[in-house]
């Protein structure tokens, strides 16, 4: 469908008001120009122009969310988010037009809803003028969805199903469960306490509001909340600021104004000085509206219950929450935000002498992190989260006691050390911001900026909008101060700041203001036994819990004085000498900001981003050394180094893989506390054992060149020490082994989609060991075998891969250090051994197999990875055709499978690259059975063949598919289409065994480094493309006939040559129990809504007794309420509605059951594999 420009757009003469504000800018972003403005209708806008950017992106945030849900319709805001852009608009009624206009251009889109905001965002390639016209058209479609959405009834029904699938997926997420648990501790009258996501139960209409009623609620919700004064917009792309401003005005400037202008909209198009006041006033307006809505200022009160205990078969968790009521605080909001950040960094610190160091050395935790949670306007929470070991679980009371009585006492008494720590923290924060990496996703950055415009501008000086967090007063206002060590005046200032922070800790981080969450096997936790248990069941997540009052001070009697020496680190040794001069850092930030302000005058083009590929600077039979010197702004004084040690004398065996895992863990345990201070400065490091089963250990370190060299030297010395050591302490070895086991226990507890995706690799990659093989090897591993392995790895023959990118000042020193202390690769060109690369087991033609495995015990979802092998990885024709199929699926998969066939919330599909073969995968998670999912996928492939391709004309095939595909290939955007298909090479995305905590979100430069590193690791050397080089000469010969031949040979179910393997992960939960649970939730929610509550225990008995019989349930309910003296007339009326709900639910489950038997027998008989090693064992006969 073409998109024509509307003639009824905002008048271009209604120029937006521009706020003249200089934004502090990282060096990596100093070639971007920024502008904050406001449209004539009140929409706040931030524009980001970057001539180097290859994508154009947009985000729209609205100051409304689940806290505006009616009490009777949990999830209405979430449903509105789903239906606005997917339901079509008055001008573009086709519900698929938004998805199609973006996906056809290789773009992606997303949205999310929080308690107080809803944000929508998308991005598109913008390499050419034609691309930018498509962005203009996409903005037109996007904006029309907010101008006049249709909210079609059929779309509402489908999106309710999608939300139900999303909720079902959330059931297996510990973080989602914990957030729901936190709601149970909140005041029942506060909207934060309510279930917010919604599901089929809360959104399925009763007769009181059938489909028409739900649509009316959505329309009313939209009209009440989606107003311009509630909106903020972010636009980013290679276009000029003026062009972006015109796009904003044209597409969003005519949204109807429904608010009082209060004299703030002025005639001058540029506003200096007053712009900050307007931004702050807008933020205050939104804040006032939320505070007026809430009946209580804070979601958490000082009520009698301060703890909640959750019985779940998951790894144990202890979480402490310290609510911060901003409205009634003695501190300013800015100080609260700043001191909350100080608290987060101090409590999350895992350096020597810290609380995290104590917990790890005691063997109590596998991980610790602290965070700040925004519960609602006027109320935040300081969160301390501990993932406990079994030892930590039984010592939870001691952990809490040490925290309150020992560690906090240190913070409140050692003021001078705290002042030095805070001074270093601010220095590190500024340096980290100044040298931060480029973000991966432009649209996600846009969503962050649009969200900040709505929420943070009152306490956050607009010059810090890109940074997103406040600075101490002397930096924010006067810019006249130094670090703690510089002058007496500075030391006095920092002492005073530390004292204010100590008062903040005294006010908020104390046992009277704490909320405690324990999740795990409660029978084994002494701290949980302090409470009297009376278990309840959460209606939505189905976990059992009890709320209680626990006097934290009772744990004081248990000895809490450990032998551990707590101290506050006085100086960060990784801060470079020049970095200790705060005035120098501030000057660099000002220069970077000034460069950004002048960026619109520069002539920087996208061609300036073209970089050389890595060059081979050293190679013999024992090593290869690659170098890539960078001149991009991010790499100014930054280096990324990867070195790999590959044994050529040790076999690929499960035991050796587990030895590598334990070695990586031991190295991390030995050095993590020493290296932790480097993380605050943006240094990162990770250690990876090979994901392909060969004996390969990889290290990646990034940061300032001198510091990177020091970190590499520390790792080398620790490796050499382990190889020479014959007396590794059993306790240290045992802890490393326990943590490795914990990692695989967590992997076994992953969601069913993850298990199925990894299952495909286990079945087809010859050395990708199964979880069972790894657990078995780990059980057999002991200190003696480990020492022998380390000696063979370090002292035996090996091959070195070395790759240095960025500032290459220390490259020769690093190469020399590796040679002299570890590898000796420069001394001889005689091969030390044979370097063997792992391979894929290739399926023979005509394979139609599946393998089943069980999911985690508490995961109600089923998943499938449906994989079609299409050829050899080095077969250019097969690779080209498979890549084109990936593109075709990106356009059709979501509309056909998720929207029309409602296959499930999690749905991915596209190319999958293995070591030696390639193919197409479709991955789905749902409550339907895996065989039902497989049938739906077969239907989708049949649709592609029979209803799409077979009826197309040759010219239509070229214009609809080949030409857009060719454009993506020529502009280099094809490999970036990962949102629908997931990563093409899944093995290259497997996370490192151990890594620094700040690597959770990879920046663009690190992502690029890993891509190049993988090309070197796998000997592919395709540095110019995302994954593999496509033979572009084949595009000219791509016709409908040639593609149909490929499809009917490699993909069609009717082909005798097709190679198909399905990995099915099945829920261990009884389908009958799941049905009864869903029925229980529906009836319970309905009766509560009708004012007829019934105890959960009584309703559970009725549902179980009825065994799905609708009449029996109604009869039992009537008897129950009659015995309670309820009106027979009322009960009868309500029960008629309840009967319809129950029958509808039963019908839905019968349909699911029938789906399994609705498909004809396949052309090739299906083979169920008995074990994951099937193709490895018979690979010779299958190839």
* Averaged pLDDT, 1133-1161: 54
Residue 359, pLDDT > 90, answer: yes
pLDDT digits (tens, 9 = 90+) for 721-754: 888 777 788 888 998 998 899 888 888 888 889 8
Does residue 1050 share a domain with residue 1092? no
Confidence band, pLDDT 50/70/90 cuts, at residue 1031: confident
Does residue 246 share a domain with residue 324? no
d(CA 14, CA 250): 9
Range name among 284-288, 632-636, 759-763, 880-884 with the lowest pLDDT average: 632-636
In which element (H, E) is residue 1105 found?
helix 1096-1106
Residue 1134, pLDDT > 70, answer: no
Query: pLDDT at position 1150, please?
Result: 44
What's the order of all strands across the beta sheet hosting 917-926?
Answer: 906-913, 917-926, 862-872, 1059-1066, 848-854, 1167-1168
Range name among 23-27, 230-234, 641-645, 1116-1120 with the lowest pLDDT average: 1116-1120
Query: pLDDT at position 1099, please?
Result: 81
Residue 1019: CB atoms within 10 A of its CB come to 10
Range name among 338-352, 787-801, 1030-1044, 1083-1097 with the lowest pLDDT average: 1083-1097
Does residue 561 share a domain with residue 430? yes
| 567-581, 598-612, 947-961: which is most confident | 947-961
d(CA 855, CA 904): 17
Residue 451 covered by a domain: no
Name the more confident of 744 and 563: 744
Does residue 1131 share a domain with residue 1080? yes
Residue 670 covered by a domain: yes
Residue 399, pLDDT > 50, answer: yes
CB 319 within 8 A of CB 384: yes
Closest CA to 851 of 609, 1119, 1066, 621: 1066
Query: pLDDT at position 1002, please?
Result: 62
Residue 616: CB atoms within 10 A of its CB come to 11
pLDDT digits (tens, 9 = 90+) for 12-49: 447 788 887 888 999 988 889 999 999 999 999 999 99
- Greatest alpha-carbon pair distance for the chain in Å reads 95
* Averaged pLDDT, 226-241: 94
Does residue 666 share a domain with residue 806? yes
d(CA 922, CA 905): 13
Q: Beta 917-926 vs 906-913: how paired, if at all?
A: antiparallel
Query: pLDDT at position 609, please?
Result: 45
Does residue 653 share a domain with residue 559? no
Residue 69 covered by a domain: no
| 599-608, 882-891, 965-974: which is most confident | 882-891
Query: pLDDT at position 444, please?
Result: 93
Confidence band, pLDDT 50/70/90 cuts, at residue 1139: low
Does residue 786 share a domain with residue 875? no
Confidence band, pLDDT 50/70/90 cuts, at residue 1157: very low
Does residue 633 share a domain with residue 569? no
What's the order of all strands across the beta sheet hosting 623-629?
Answer: 615-620, 623-629, 798-806, 639-647, 696-703, 684-689, 994-995
* Averaged pLDDT, 140-149: 95
Query: pLDDT at position 288, please?
Result: 86
pLDDT digits (tens, 9 = 90+) for 83-137: 999 889 999 999 889 988 888 888 889 999 999 999 999 999 886 666 778 899 9
Query: pLDDT at position 273, please?
Result: 52
Specify the DSSP class assigned to residue 477.
I
Query: pLDDT at position 618, please?
Result: 94
Query: pLDDT at position 58, please?
Result: 97
Range name among 349-363, 862-876, 881-895, 1010-1024 with the lowest pLDDT average: 1010-1024
* Averaged pLDDT, 677-703: 91
Q: What does 311-349 look like in DSSP terms, one character per residue?
A: E-SS--EEEEEEEEESTT-SS-HHHHHHHHHHHHHHHH-
Does residue 264 share a domain with residue 289? yes
CB 862 within 8 A of CB 914: no
Q: Beta 317-325 vs 270-272: how paired, if at all?
A: unpaired
Query: pLDDT at position 478, please?
Result: 46
Residue 922, pLDDT > 90, answer: yes
Q: CA angle, corner 940, sides to 939 and 941, nearest 5?
A: 95
Indicate the pTM of the whole model.
0.86
Query: pLDDT at position 502, please?
Result: 97
Range name among 119-128, 220-229, 1097-1106 with the lowest pLDDT average: 1097-1106
Question: How many domains is the chain built from?
Answer: 5
* Averaged pLDDT, 194-214: 72
Residue 565, pLDDT > 60, answer: yes
Confidence band, pLDDT 50/70/90 cuts, at residue 708: very high
Specify the DSSP class assigned to residue 301.
-
Does residue 547 share a domain with residue 650? no
Q: In the annotation, is 81 catalytic? A: yes
Confidence band, pLDDT 50/70/90 cuts, at residue 1091: low
Residue 1160 covered by a domain: no
Query: pLDDT at position 604, please?
Result: 46
Residue 683: CB atoms within 10 A of its CB come to 23
Query: pLDDT at position 986, please?
Result: 74
Q: Which residue has the tokens 């409602």?
A: 902
Instruction: Map residue 216 onto helix, strand or coil.
Output: helix
CB 202 within 8 A of CB 74: yes
**CA-based Rg of the chain, rounded to a whole angstrom?**
30
Residue 755, pLDDT > 70, answer: yes
Query: pLDDT at position 943, please?
Result: 93
Residue 151 covered by a domain: no
d(CA 582, CA 793): 45
Q: CA angle, corner 54, sides to 49 and 55, nearest 5?
A: 75
* Averaged pLDDT, 930-944: 93
Burial string for 909-943 (b: 16+ CB within 10 Å, else e) reads bbbbbbbbbbbbbbbbbbbbbbbbbbbbbbbbbeb
- Residues 6 or more apart whose CB falls under 8 angstroms from that of 941 comprise 1051, 1052, 1053
- Domain extent for 2: 1-64+93-143+226-296
Does residue 475 share a domain with residue 406? yes
Residue 1168 covered by a domain: no
Range name among 164-178, 508-522, 811-825 with the lowest pLDDT average: 164-178
Residue 1176 covered by a domain: no
Query: pLDDT at position 1130, please?
Result: 57
Query: pLDDT at position 822, please?
Result: 93
pLDDT digits (tens, 9 = 90+) for 1045-1089: 999 999 999 999 999 999 999 998 777 776 777 677 677 767 766
Does residue 1127 share a domain with residue 1086? yes
Residue 149, pLDDT > 50, answer: yes
Query: pLDDT at position 161, please?
Result: 84
- Residues 6 or more apart whose CB falls under 8 angstroms from that of 1018 comprise 837, 915, 988
pLDDT above 90 covers a percentage of the chain that reads 49
Average pLDDT score over the chain: 84
Instruction: Map residue 527 onto helix, strand or coil.
Output: coil
CATH number for the domain harbouring residue 495: 3.30.830.10
**Is the backbone of residue 136 left (phi > 0), alpha (psi -120 to 50) or beta?**
alpha
Residue 966 covered by a domain: yes
Query: pLDDT at position 1180, please?
Result: 44
Residue 833, pLDDT > 90, answer: no
Choose, from 81, 333, 1028, 1053, the residue flagged as catalytic: 81
d(CA 951, CA 619): 55
Enter the tokens of residue 456.
């943070």
Helices and strands counted in the chain (H then E)? 38, 28
């Amino acid at each position: 469908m073409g998109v024509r420009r509307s003639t009824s757009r905002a008048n271009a003469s209604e120029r937006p008001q521009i706020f003249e504000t200089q934004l502090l800018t990282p060096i990596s972003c100093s070639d971007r120009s920024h502008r904050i403005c406001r449209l004539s209708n009140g929409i706040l806008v931030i524009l980001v122009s970057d001539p180097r950017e290859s994508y154009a992106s947009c985000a729209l945030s609205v100051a409304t969310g689940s806290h505006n849900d009616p009490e009777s319709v949990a999830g209405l805001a979430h449903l509105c988010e789903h239906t606005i852009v997917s339901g079509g608009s008055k001008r573009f009624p086709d519900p698929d037009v938004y998805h199609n206009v973006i996906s056809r251009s290789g773009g992606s889109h997303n949205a999310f809803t929080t308690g107080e905001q809803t944000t929508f965002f998308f991005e598109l390639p913008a390499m050419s003028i034609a691309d930018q016209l498509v962005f203009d058209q996409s903005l037109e479609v996007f904006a029309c969805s907010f101008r006049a959405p249709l909210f079609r009834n059929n779309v509402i029904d489908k999106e309710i199903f999608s939300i139900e699938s999303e909720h079902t997926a959330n059931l297996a997420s510990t973080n989602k469960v914990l957030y729901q648990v936190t709601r149970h501790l909140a005041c029942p009258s506060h909207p934060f306490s309510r279930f917010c996501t919604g599901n089929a139960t809360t959104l399925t209409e009763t007769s009181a509001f059938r489909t028409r009623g739900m649509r009316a609620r959505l329309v009313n919700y939209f009209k009440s909340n989606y107003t311009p004064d509630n909106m903020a917009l972010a636009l980013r792309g290679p276009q000029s600021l003026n062009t972006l401003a015109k796009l904003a005005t044209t597409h969003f400037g005519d949204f109807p104004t429904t608010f009082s202008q209060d004299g703030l909209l002025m005639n001058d198009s540029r506003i200096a000085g007053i712009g900050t006041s307007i931004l702050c006033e807008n933020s205050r307006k939104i804040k006032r509206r939320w505070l007026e809505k809430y009946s209580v200022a804070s979601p958490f009160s000082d009520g009698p219950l301060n703890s909640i205990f959750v019985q779940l078969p998951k790894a144990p968790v202890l979480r402490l929450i310290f609510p911060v009521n901003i409205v009634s605080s003695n501190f300013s909001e800015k100080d609260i935000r700043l001191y909350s950040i100080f608290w987060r960094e101090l409590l999350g610190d895992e350096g020597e002498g810290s609380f995290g160091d104590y917990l790890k050395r005691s063997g109590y935790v596998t991980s610790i992190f602290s965070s700040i949670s925004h519960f609602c306007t006027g109320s935040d929470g300081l969160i301390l989260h501990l993932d406990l070991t079994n030892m930590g679980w039984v010592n939870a009371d001691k952990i809490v006691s040490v925290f309150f009585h020992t560690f906090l006492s240190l913070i409140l008494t050692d003021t001078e050390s705290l002042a030095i720590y805070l001074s270093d923290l601010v220095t590190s924060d500024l340096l980290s911001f100044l040298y931060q990496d480029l973000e991966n996703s432009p649209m996600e950055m846009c969503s962050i900026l649009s969200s900040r415009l709505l929420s943070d501008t009152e306490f956050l000086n607009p010059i810090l909008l890109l940074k997103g967090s406040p600075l101490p007063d002397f930096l924010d206002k006067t810019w006249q101060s130094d670090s703690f060590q510089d002058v007496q005046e500075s030391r006095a200032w920092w002492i005073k700041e530390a004292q204010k922070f100590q008062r903040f800790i005294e006010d908020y981080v104390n046992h009277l203001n704490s909320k405690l969450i324990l999740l795990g096997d409660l029978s084994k936790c002494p701290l949980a036994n302090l409470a009297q248990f009376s278990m309840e069941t959460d209606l939505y997540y189905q976990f059992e819990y009890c709320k209680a009052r626990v006097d934290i001070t009772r744990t004081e009697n248990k000895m809490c004085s450990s032998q551990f020496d707590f101290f506050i680190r006085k100086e960060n040794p990784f801060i470079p000498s020049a970095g200790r001069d705060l005035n120098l850092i501030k000057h660099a930030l000002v220069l970077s900001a000034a460069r950004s302000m002048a960026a619109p005058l520069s002539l920087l083009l996208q061609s300036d981003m073209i970089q050389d590929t890595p060059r081979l600077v050293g190679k013999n039979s024992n090593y290869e050394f690659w170098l890539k010197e960078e001149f991009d702004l991010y790499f100014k004084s930054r280096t990324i180094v990867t070195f790999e040690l590959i044994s050529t004398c040790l076999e690929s065996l499960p035991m050796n893989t587990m030895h590598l895992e334990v070695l990586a863990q031991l190295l991390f345990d030995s050095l993590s506390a020493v290296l932790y201070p480097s993380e605050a400065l943006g240094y990162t490091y990770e250690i990876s054992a090979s994901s392909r089963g060969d004996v390969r250990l990889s290290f990646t370190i990034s940061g300032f060149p001198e510091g990177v060299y020091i970190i590499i030297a520390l790792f080398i010395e620790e490796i050499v020490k382990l190889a020479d050591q014959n007396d590794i302490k059993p306790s240290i070895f045992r802890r490393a082994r326990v943590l490795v086991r914990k990692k695989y226990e967590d992997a076994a507890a992953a969601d069913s989609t993850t298990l199925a995706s990894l299952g495909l690799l286990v079945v087809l990659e010859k050395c990708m060991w199964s979880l069972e093989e790894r657990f078995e090897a780990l059980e057999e591993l002991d200190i003696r075998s480990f020492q022998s392995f380390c000696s063979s790895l370090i002292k035996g023959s090996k091959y070195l891969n070395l790759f240095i990118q960025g500032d290459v000042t220390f490259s020769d020193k690093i190469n020399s250090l590796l040679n002299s202390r570890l590898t000796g690769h420069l001394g001889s060109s005689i091969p030390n051994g044979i370097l063997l690369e792992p391979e894929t087991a290739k399926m023979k033609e005509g394979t139609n197999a599946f393998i089943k495995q069980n999911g985690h015990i508490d995961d109600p979802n089923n998943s499938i990875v449906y994989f079609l092998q299409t050829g050899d990885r080095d077969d250019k024709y097969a690779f080209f055709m498979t890549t084109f199929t990936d593109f075709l699926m990106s356009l059709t998969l979501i509309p056909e499978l998720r929207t029309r066939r409602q296959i499930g919330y999690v749905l991915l599909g596209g190319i999958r690259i293995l070591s030696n073969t390639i193919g197409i995968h479709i991955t789905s998670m749902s409550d339907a059975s895996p065989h039902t999912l497989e049938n739906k996928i077969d239907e989708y492939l049949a649709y592609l063949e029979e209803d799409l391709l077979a009826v197309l004309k040759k010219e239509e095939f070229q214009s609809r598919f080949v030409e857009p595909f060719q454009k993506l290939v020529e502009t280099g955007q094809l490999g970036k289409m990962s949102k629908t298909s997931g990563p093409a090479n899944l093995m290259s995305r497997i996370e490192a065994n151990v890594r620094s905590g700040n690597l959770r979100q990879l920046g663009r430069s690190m992502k690029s480094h890993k891509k190049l590193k993988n090309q070197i690791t796998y000997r592919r050397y395709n540095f110019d493309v995302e994954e593999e080089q496509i033979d572009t000469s084949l595009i000219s010969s791509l016709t409908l006939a040639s593609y149909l031949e490929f499809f009917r040979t490699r993909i069609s179910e009717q082909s005798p040559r097709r190679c198909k393997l399905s990995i099915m992960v099945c829920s261990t939960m009884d389908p009958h129990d799941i049905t009864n649970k869903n029925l229980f939730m529906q009836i319970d929610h309905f009766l509560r809504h009708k004012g007829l509550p019934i105890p959960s225990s009584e309703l559970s008995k009725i549902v179980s007794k009825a065994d799905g019989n609708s009449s029996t349930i109604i009869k039992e309910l009537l008897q129950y309420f009659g015995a309670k003296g309820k009106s027979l007339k009322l009960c009868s009326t309500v029960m008629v509605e309840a009967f319809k709900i129950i029958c509808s639910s039963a019908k839905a489950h019968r349909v699911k059951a029938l789906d399994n038997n609705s498909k004809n027998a396949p052309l090739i008989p299906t083979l169920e594999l008995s074990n994951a090693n099937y193709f490895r064992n018979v690979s010779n006969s299958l190839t």
